[in-house]
Copies of this chain bind each other. A is one copy, B any other.
Amino acid sequence: MALPAGLTKRDLASALEEFAAAVGRQFVFTSDEHINTYRDEFGPLRGTPKDPVPSAAIAPGSVEEVQKVVRIANQYRVPLWVISCGKNWGYGGPAPRVTGSVVVDLKRMNRILEVNEQHAYALVEPGVSYFDLYRHIQERKLKLWIDGPVGGWGSVVANTVERGVGQSILGDFYNFQCGMEVVLPDGELMRTGMGAVPGSPTWQQYKWGFGPHVDGLFSHSNIGIVTKIGTWLAPEPPVFLSCQVSVPRFEDIVPLIDITRPLRQKNLLVNSAVFPPRLGRPQDPANLGGWYNKIGFYGEDKVVDLQWQHVQDAYAAIPGVEFKARRFTAPYDAGEMDAFGRTLAGIPGVGGYGYRGVFCSPILPFTGEAIWNMIHSFDRIYQEYGLRYFGEAIHIHQARALVAPATVPISLDDPKVNETAVALVRRLIVESTRQGWGVYRITTAFMDEAMAAFSFNNGALLRFHETLKDALDPNGILAPGKNGIWPSKHRGRQA
């Protein structure tokens, strides 16, 4: 069994006994077979001594059990790594950052506590997947839409706090979060926003509360375990158009992006995602041919048709542009939609990336020039490693920025592929840092490098995070190293 640094076998055994008393012996997992399910199948360190291996996993069934687990971990100084559904593929999966961590698996806490049709929100536990939430709404015929990601098996809570993005009405999940319940590193239970007012009817209706707004501290975080989250939903639109804009040439990406920018800023588009045409086949980008842009319109009869007309008029400046649209009206039948339509309608997908890789996802200005520059500078680096740039899609974040995940191949059994991946991702982060981009998320193995880019004033932001970490988690038990933030006892050691 992998031991956490500084713990004896006997300490760990005692801690596991106490965990078993807290959550039930059947929910403490220590066999190799179980432990293997908590390793990262997309992990670039796989097969090397640095690949982090958990010592055990435990699955608490309630908030009170999570609190007990945290208190026991403090007593024994056991590092915990918290997962919801554990499906964070390409960004770390279920695996911890530090060998010997006990994985706290929240999948048993899977209650949908409320879905409110009048105010269009849901309150859910961490184990609730997008599938679960979608099914719940469909079964009750509620007139609400969610924005389910392509991987519908993912947790709503985790996708929100890890700041994932959907392709339907809501888009930026974290932006639609409203109210949290958190177990702090000392085991205390806190509710944020209006949830702190006993009996408040607006916990999921007003985000900020009174006093500093703390919810952001629990995104990309290792200073709390989110046990409930509020998420806004969209009222079912009367009409939905599933549209596609295709441009024929590789270089058309530049006007495609530049024309999209003002449309998005003006909310003529509420979302859109731009794809290369031959997904999954890395090659010379210049031979890829054209691109397509997937756009949904959601709203009133005639309004959406006029909006789509305005949007077509704008893209018509690109020679050879082609438009496709399908029109749907409520009540909707997902069976009538193709895969793109379902994605634009926020229906959780069953995919499946079709490849095994990790992402390096630079945050770019919303310009064609920036995308062009990124593709070419990244491709030159890929070529140094005998590969070609391969981008999954270009996502619009927050109407004013682009996130363009570059995919780096990983192998389950070929260490050469993974050695290349480690070197290549590091180089891509260096290039991103040099260009001032920074990355949006990254798999656990590269979190220090990613955070190091945020270096203004001798790393003032990281030092701020460390001050909070030390104040809230003095024993450093919660997810050490997550997003490059280490407790004091680890600092200086990871370099």
Contact = CB atoms under 8 A, between A and B. Distances in A.
A136 to B, nearest CB: 19
Contact of A461 (B196, B220, B262): B196
Given A220-B210, A307-B300, A471-B467, A202 B455 contact: no
Interface stretch (A127-135, A363-371, A411-419): A363-371
Given A178-B400, A184-B464, A212-B465, 5 more contacts: A197-B437, A197-B453, A205-B401, A208-B219, A303-B303
A168 interface: no
B211 A460 contact: no
A453 B266 CA distance: 39
B212 A217 contact: yes
A207 B471 contact: no
Nearest to A194: B438
A442 B210 CA distance: 9
A337 B462 CA distance: 49
Contact of A200 (B184, B211, B436): B436
Contacts of A125: none
Interface stretch (A37-45, A75-83, A185-193, A324-332): A185-193
A451 interface: yes
A213 B219 contact: yes
Nearest to A236: B266
Q: How many copies of this chain does one complex carry?
A: 2
Interface centre among A261, A303, A463 (most CB of B within 10 A): A303
Given A216-B215, A267-B267, A206 B464 contact: no
A470 B121 CA distance: 35
A119 interface: yes
A460 B147 CA distance: 32
A190 B483 CA distance: 18
A298 to B, nearest CB: 8
A461 B198 CA distance: 12
Given A400-B120, A433-B197, A216 B219 contact: no
A199 interface: yes
Interface in A350-397: 363-367, 370, 397
A200 B457 contact: no
Contact of A210 (B198, B210, B440): B440
A112 interface: no
Nearest to A403: B206
A188 B466 CA distance: 14
Contact of A472 (B184, B365, B467): B467
B436 A198 contact: yes
Given A206-B401, A450-B210, A483-B212, A456 B191 contact: yes
20 contacts: A119-B365, A163-B208, A174-B213, A188-B460, A197-B438, A197-B456, A198-B436, A202-B363, A202-B437, A204-B400, A205-B398, A208-B220, A208-B440, A210-B439, A212-B223, A214-B217, A214-B464, A300-B310, A467-B471, A470-B471
Interface string A16-53: 00000000000000000000000000000000000000
A275 interface: no
A154 interface: no
Nearest to A434: B199
Contact of A456 (B190, B370, B453, B456): B190
B365 A197 contact: no
A268 interface: yes
